[in-house]
Structure 1
Amino acid sequence: MMNRFLPLLSLLLISHLSSPARLTPRGGDGGNRKLATGAVRGEGVLHRSKRGWMWNQFYLMEEYTANEYQYVGKLQSNMDRLDGTVRYVLTGEGAGTIFQIDEKTGDLHAIRKLDREEKANYKLQVTAVNTRTNRPLEPQTEFIIKIHDINDNEPKFAKATYTASVPEMTAVGTPVMQVTATDADDSSYGNSAKLVYSILQGQPYFSVEPDSGWIKIALPNMDREVREKYQVVIQAKDMAGQMGGLSGTTTVNITLTDVNDSPPRFSSSSYHLSILESTEVGSTVGRIKAKDGDAGENAEMEYSIIDGDGREFFSILTDSMTQEGIIMVKKKLDYERQRVYTVKVEVNNTKLDSRYSSFGPFRDTATVKITAQDVDEPPVFSVSPYVVEVREDTARGNTIGKVTAWDPDSPHHPVRYSIDHHTNRDKLFYIDPIDGSITTLQPLDRELSKWHNISVLATEINNPHQMSRVPVLIKVLDVNDNAPEFAMYYETFVCENVKAGQLIQTISATDTDEPLFGHKFVFSLSSNNPNFTILDNEDNTARILTRRSGFNRHEVSAYYLPVVISDNDFPVQSSTSTLTIRVCSCDGGGNLRSCSVEALLLSAGLSTGALVAILLCVILLLMIVVLFSALKRQRRKEPLIISKEDVRDNVVSYNDEGGGEEDTQAFDIGTLRHPEAVESNKQRRDIIPEILFPYHRPSPTPDCADARDFINCRLQENDSDPSAPPYDSLATYAYEGTGSAAESLSSLGSSLTEGDHDYEYLSSWGPQFKKLADMYIAKDKA
């Protein structure tokens, strides 16, 4: 048995007698040596030399399980005389770990169990070394050890579980999917890796090809509605499926996908529904549903009403979520007219496949009977809404229209009519509660309201809770009862130098009435006017022209021209409106040159109210400017006197009868306001320092002859002199001369007293007063 695994050796001819010896494998089949001879011509004698075998590989079985080491072979050099002088050294892959050589004999063993699936061959080198010199006897020789395969690996699938799908009703032999397994054994040696597939579970629905692993349909007309999921177990076995081979399995979950091969079917041929007759339009009556064994879009259905006396009153919709047919009210029901309605409903698939048309037809029908139930209904009006037309000159109490309602449950039951008071707050209309006649309570005016909308109520007498309402629209027709008038307020002007026949204004009119064929106004003057005339433009406008040339605004500043406007309706209505024409001065081109403010503004098209508003704005603006100026001046200079009470505390007096003005003390109110002011820095506020203003000697006035004139002159000089005391100081000149018979001559006393005084006696004292004035001037200069 071992002999078939030994290598075949090759025979080589050696051409040189002195060639080095070669290692010769021994073992396996006992050596099976063959001699190779070679001839060399030397010194005329032909010699032969003996050579060993050349080899290149050994063979071993994998998975060796014996207790002793597995013998590989014997390596021996022909230089070895078996005297112990040769030592064999092994190197290469697995040397010392997997393979071991006897250094003396050259026997090679595998010291470990080998697995071909891990490594199929090993490359090693052996060297024959002289034990004395420790030098190689010949060059290193390389050889290969190949591992023979045994069937020690079972087939394995890539997945433990596969998933596949195939449409239902698929023909026999249709491939579903392919599963393949792999075997780690050597496929080039024996049958260890030759696999055969078989099905262990899933028959008779599916089959598998032994060589390729293709799973195919094995049963015809497989119906998803009968069974949807299948589990198939596939086995792969090596050794070509023979006894003793190894095997592996995998599971394939196969799902039958749906095709539209099941038509929809109603569970019953007829359905019965009921509904109140008062149900609103659009309400749901009920639902019906057909069954379809398919799934997904193949099970989508559509419902329709194809026949029946209820087609006019009912409709059907399809609920896409539940695939139900929803029957709805299409038209108002009437129990008194019809109590039972019948509709024929059809259902069909929305998506069809011609390949499965033989399973059809894909539609079904059912009859649905709907019973209307009676309810107590409110009265019903014959029309909704009512539209009534009435002339605006209709007399009070006239009938303008009529409404009619009845009880639908019993036409013989009476109803009562009324008007909703919220729609008749002005109490313009009245309705007869028995016959529904509508009359007017007050005259109507189209110019105030063209339409009146009222709500009429109809109530069952036997059941007041049953009430209905209907709108009544009352249109007021126009009657020519209003006269035309100016479209706007006109005020214009005429130039003094105007020529005769010149246009000064174009006027138009308006009328609140609405004649059927539109307005047609006629313009005229109420009397023959020598100054102006009117020309009708025949388009509801007219032109005002001058009849003469030359006007004088100083003689007549304004003319008032009465204009008569008439309409063409019946009866004819007319009115007189007055046009105001101002006279103004103009240049040669007709442009205003001078005119009163009112005329100028009126010429610009402004009314009297607008003029008043403009003037008020101007006055208000002037007041704001004055106030602003006063405030600005107040901020610039602080007044000396803040209140009227300060006047008496800031009087400069010169009534000392002793040494004159040099003893005069003036009270400074500023000290009270600012007590922190330094006394040395205070200056007299009634006398301007000379360093600021040079002394101004008043020029003598020859007219100041008596005391009155003297005082007035001095007051005028102080008012106009910039060096005078401040405006809020009061100067007095009450100096009394020696031997005065008039006692005090204070200007304060004389000016504040309203009694009669005789000042003529002062004329004899002129020189004294002149002396007083000269003294005052001298003192003031000092």
Structure 2
Amino acid sequence: MAKVLLFTLCVTLILPRVESCFIPRFLSVEVPQAIPREYEITRVDVSNCDGSSVRLTVTDPSFTVMSSGAIVASTAVYVGGSGRTFSVRARDDAGPGSEMEVHLVASTPAWRPSPKKSQDFLKRSKRRWGPAPFNILENDHAPFPKDIDTVASDSAAKQDVYYTISGPGVELNPVGVFSLDRDTGMLRVHKAVDREKFPTFTLRTRVFSKATHKETDLFFDIKVIVDDKNDNAPQFDSPLMFTVLEQSKPGTVVGKVNASDKDEPGSLHVKIKYSLKNGLDLFAINPVTGVITTVTNTLDREVKDKHLVTVEIRDMQGAVTGLFNTATATIAVGDINDNPPTFTKAAYTASVEENVQDKLLLRIPVEDKDLVDSPNWISKFVITKGNENGNFRMERDPKTNDGLLYVSKPLNHELNPKVKLEITAQNTPNGTLIGSYTALDPETKSGNGIKYYKVSDPALWINVDKNTGELKVANTIDRESHFVHDGIYNITVKAVDASAKTATGKVIIVVEDVNDNMPTVPISELRMCEKPGELGSVVVVAEDKDESPLSSPFTFSMPTDSDGQWSVVKLNDTAARLQHNKELPTGMHSVPVEITDLQGFGKTQMVPVRICQCRNGVCLDQERSTSLGSMGILAMLLPLALLLLLGLLLGLFCMTQREKLKVDDIGDSGGIILKSNTEGRGDEVDVSLLPLSSYNGDEVTKGSVKGVMSSGYPGLNGMSTVGGLNTTDNWMYKSGADLQYTSQIDAQYASNYEGQLVGSGVNFDNGHLLQGSSFLHNWEANGLYLREKLHYLGTEEDGCYAEDINHTYGFEGVGSAAGSVGCCSDFGDGDNLDFLNTLGPKFKTLADACQKT
């Protein structure tokens, strides 16, 4: 029995892949040698693709492919002799897509042959070569080098030649971009080029005979154009800061976004599309011009005073492949007078005594939601009822915007014990009717059919109704604006009838003043010359943009918390003198001064005052130049160099010092240098003039010494000369604090002068004075006096003998008001005692000193 085997075959069928979006694989197109911008090359057949989802891209940035399949040159393109090739890719949502290679073929030669020479020329001219400009793509990718095209001279047909090239891109900056094959004439590029730096190159080409090395043709300049690639995103040229008034009508211009692109001008690479990414419920932007406008009239500053909107700028006219940047635009909402002032209470009660005037009765607060301190916030108070006799007046507090009710005329209780006033608070809102300007037809005596147009309104403050000629407030009117002159603001209105006849007139608007400005000091710096021993001052001048009585006369005062270094004195209605109360250092001082106008409106101003050293009334710092130059810099560095040198010298001194010198302290010298090395002879003294006194030779040893003696320190010898002799005064301790004084004449000197003194009664014995000589008696008498003086100094306190010895005083730099009080300061008749009746300050000073002694 035969067995039957059953097999199960699994067959996998491999089917060819079918592309959902199919375009031809290759396309050759004949085009002009120089393709202009926006030139349509050809159209790609995309009928096999899904039209709703097809996406076409091109590899060459010099061309753009539209969704319809049209291939357009986005910039001027030159097609060389070898043509130009790029690819187009197509894809839809159904599959992977396909790619087509596009090859451009120039319809004319890459270079033109030389024209035939006329036989009528007497002189033969050289033959010419004329290749058209070559094109390369900026920032092209590797590998390099790449062939551009071949240059050829007509002379190459008859002889063997070679070529050379020179210029920017070869041996000049940027070096090494191009090369030329000397045998074939092939021009090559060796590196990427940035078009924004080098948009074109002009290369000089020469041809030479290989046999003679002489030029066979005139040189020719080849132009290489760098085709733009979209490699630069657009940039914002200015900050995005704008302001628009609240409640502006839709379509009101907010501002313009300015942007630029560094790519080739005029190409799609620089065609920017503007768009907003948020805030579309309030604002819109023109995609071509970048002008931002409002789309609603609901902007309210009191709700939100600032809006942040994201702006995008994208090149390639906003294509998804375009490069882009974004930035945040800040749109501030300006204030208009759209909120009236409101009272916080409906009624107030106040009382006043009769026969009282100029008294504040009541402060009435108001609220205004407009911008604080702006003209839209300032209130005007009017008594509309109850003030028929003019007994009251209303003013405004400039700081708080409150209404102030004053009694201006005395009241009589018997005539009217109770007064009821009605007060309104108002300001000038937008849309307020301030008048009308109408015209009449001289023939019909009627204004029917006449239209009114505003010709000039410098500050845009007034709106003119087209049909009625009514004038309404368009924005807050500011009297201090430069558009207002002497309180007058002018606009020009034109009236046009049905037959187009026109008439022009000027409208004069009188602007009333309100106290919306405070006094200020306009100068940036006041200068004060420093004068030793004197307190200087400067004049402070203030100004107020308001008119009287809302401005001057001003009040100048120092703040209550001032430090007392400065004071201010009013000079006139607008100026005051600012002076310092004590000496201050030179430099800048910021002085607080409170300045208010006649209505008390003002604040504390910081007045800058510079105290400086002057020459001829001009600050020295004004004469100095702020430009140092090289010598000035060297002068600044010189002290640093000297300091460094001093440090080196000190270091060297410390390193080379080997021993220390010890200086003995010889006591207090009174702060001066004492000269103690006198070696010359002393002054000659007539010994006969020395006073004689009895001396019994007793030894004085009593008393103790306090202080320092002028002849030397205790225990030291003091040298002196008398009559040409050297004598020695010896002070020596005997027991404890007791001190003994002896005096003798040096024997050597005595022997030298013995012959001279014999005639004077001085006796010597081997160079020593004899006891019985008169000279010795005189000398011993002096010694007795000194011993008695020493005893006196040793037994009394400091306060007693301090008047009899020399003292050292510190000099303070100021002389005595009495001058000198010496014995010889005044000379007069000694016999006449009348001067005792007219003794001056010198005597009193001397008398005081004597009384203390």
TM range (shorter): 0.3 to 0.5
Work out which of the two has the higher radius of gyration on C-alpha atoms and give 1 or 2: 1
TM-score by length of 2: 0.34
Q: Greater RCO between the two (CA within 8 Å, min separation 6)?
A: 1
TM-score by length of 1: 0.37
